[in-house]
A = this chain, B = another copy of it.
Amino acid sequence: MTQTRVAKLTNVIRHQVPFFEVDAIQMVWHGNYVKYLELGREAFGRQFGLAYMRIFENGYVVPVVDLHLSYKKNARLDDVLRIETTYVPTEAAKLMFEYAVYRDSDNELILTASSTQLFVTNEGEFELSTPEFIRQWRAQWL
């Protein structure tokens, strides 16, 4: 890791709003954004070698322990949303992400969000120190 490494790790996916995600006032139901954030994290994991399956294989699950969503504009049926998921560097035994969701057609910011996940072992215990495979992943990417 050198001082010149400044680029953010960000994954970008697109998702077109289907009928079943729209609510009675014609907007995306606010709870569906939690799904969009998970789609973003999964795509991030596939792009950067941090997929759920790899985490499972290393003996951990990573439950979300904190989630904050800030809704800026409404999205509607058929809107194509652009979900940007950015890894937030930390030394702690956790995974943190920030998210921005835009309507792709006009680049309108729809939502910002952040999440924190902890490492839990197969025995159901919180891992207080960063797992070795995460140390290696951080050394590789950050």
In the assembled complex, the CB of A12 is this many whole angstroms from the nearest CB of chain B, namely 16
Cα distance A71–B66 in the bound complex, in angstroms: 6
Interface SS, A side = mixed
When distances are taken between beta carbons in the complex, the residues of chain B under 8 Å from A42 are 18-19
Cα distance A103–B39 in the bound complex, in angstroms: 19
- Contact mask A12-42 → B, CB, 8 Å, 1/0? 0000001110111111011100110011001
In the assembled complex, the CB of A75 is this many whole angstroms from the nearest CB of chain B, namely 11
Determine if B34 and A19 form an interchain contact, defined as CB atoms under 8 angstroms apart. Answer: no
Determine if A22 and B19 form an interchain contact, defined as CB atoms under 8 angstroms apart. Answer: no
Determine if B29 and A20 form an interchain contact, defined as CB atoms under 8 angstroms apart. Answer: yes
Does A9 interact with chain B (Cβ within 8 Å)?
A: no
Determine if B24 and A53 form an interchain contact, defined as CB atoms under 8 angstroms apart. Answer: no
Does A68 interact with chain B (Cβ within 8 Å)?
A: yes
Does A127 interact with chain B (Cβ within 8 Å)?
A: no
In the assembled complex, the CB of A31 is this many whole angstroms from the nearest CB of chain B, namely 4
When distances are taken between beta carbons in the complex, the residues of chain B under 8 Å from A38 are 18-20, 31
Q: A20-B23, A22-B24, A68-B69 are in contact. List 7 more A-B contacts (CB 8 A).
A: A19-B23, A19-B24, A30-B67, A31-B34, A31-B35, A31-B38, A65-B71
Interface residues of A (CB under 8 A from B): 18-20, 22-27, 29-31, 34-35, 38-39, 42, 51-53, 61, 63-71, 74, 77-78
